[in-house]
Amino acid sequence: MSEEMTETMEATAPETAETPVTVESINDLKPKMRIKGTVKRLELYGAFIDIGIDANAMIHISQLSDGHVNRVNDVLQVGDEVEVWVNKVDPERQQVMVTMVEPLAVDWADLKRGQIFSGTVSRLENFGAFINIGAEREGLVHISELSHEYVKSPQEVVSVGDEVQVQVLNFSKRKRRIDLSMKALMNKPEAEITLVQEDYEELVDDEEEEFGELPTAMEIALRRAMGEDIKEISTTNANNKRKDKSNRKHKQRTQNKRRSRDEIFSRTLQFERD
């Protein structure tokens, strides 16, 4: 399944309720909703829980814990008060499935390109920072997406534990990958844009014949970020231009000499025949 590009949108990660809510009917229930209940009956495959509505909720043995559970009564007993999260709701059949495993704040189905999330920096690598947005997998902010400026190391921008705003660039459920960006939410530095443009215009206004092929504005910005002096760029181009011009002149002189020699030789032969 391919994910279509969407317009940039303001969004936050869906949050599960911090405290259980009270419901009056099955129609009030929604997935990930946190509710309280009382264990009414145990079965080999799970348990039935009274959640205060006409329909009892059923919890499967696999949803009792993150780990493996051998028997339901190892975890629950009749009369126990429990907190559960709604998993599935079927109002027509009056069926409710719940879980004691806290659901993810962000499912794959919740993700959209351009979406904005608040997250926590969980770890840093040389190539970028991993951000926990509450999804199955951490999202990656590549080092090139940390800032509009050149970043040598992610530690220059963020630290583990930092709360950051990120935007979804791309994602793949099949690859279990989420690509994020911090740069996309930042304004481009106007001063840097103006400076680069002025540098470029200055080069264009100089004698183009002397400098030859000029670097693009993008090249100037990149080289400036790498610490290269703009004059060094123009000097290098000028030297290359002079070398090319000298080589062309030398080649032209050689070709002229050959033509001249051939012409003299041809005339000499013609004179001798005459």
Tell me: the pLDDT tens digits for 230-271?
A: 555 556 666 666 666 667 766 776 776 666 656 655 555 554
- The mean per-residue pLDDT over the stretch 4-27 comes to 58
At 154-198, the pLDDT tens digits run 999 999 999 999 999 999 999 999 999 999 999 887 655 555 555
Contact 155, 109 (CB under 8 A): no
- The mean per-residue pLDDT over the stretch 103-131 comes to 93
Provide the angle, in degrees to the nearest 10, between the axes of the packed helices 190-205 and 217-225. 120
Question: What is the rounded CA–CA span in Å between residue 165 and residue 161?
Answer: 13
- Nearest one of 116, 113, 185 to 145, comparing CA atoms: 185
Q: What is the pLDDT of residue 69?
A: 92
> Percentage helix, strand, coil, to 5, in the chain?
35, 25, 40
User: For residue 86, is pLDDT > 60?
Assistant: yes
User: For residue 141, is pLDDT > 60?
Assistant: yes
- Nearest one of 9, 77, 16, 70 to 42, comparing CA atoms: 77
Q: What is the pLDDT of residue 254?
A: 72
Give the pLDDT band of residue 25 (cuts 50, 70, 90).
Answer: confident
- The mean per-residue pLDDT over the stretch 188-216 comes to 54
For the chain, what is the mean pLDDT? 78
- The mean per-residue pLDDT over the stretch 122-135 comes to 94
Q: What is the pLDDT of residue 251?
A: 73
Q: What is the pLDDT of residue 6?
A: 40
Q: What is the pLDDT of residue 105?
A: 87
Planar angle of CA 211, 222, 142, nearest 5 degrees = 160
At 26-48, the pLDDT tens digits run 888 988 999 999 999 999 999 99
Listing DSSP states for 151-217 in one string gives -S-GGGT--TT-EEEEEEEEEETTTTEEEEESGGGS---HHHHHHHHHHHHHHHHS-HHHH-SPPPH
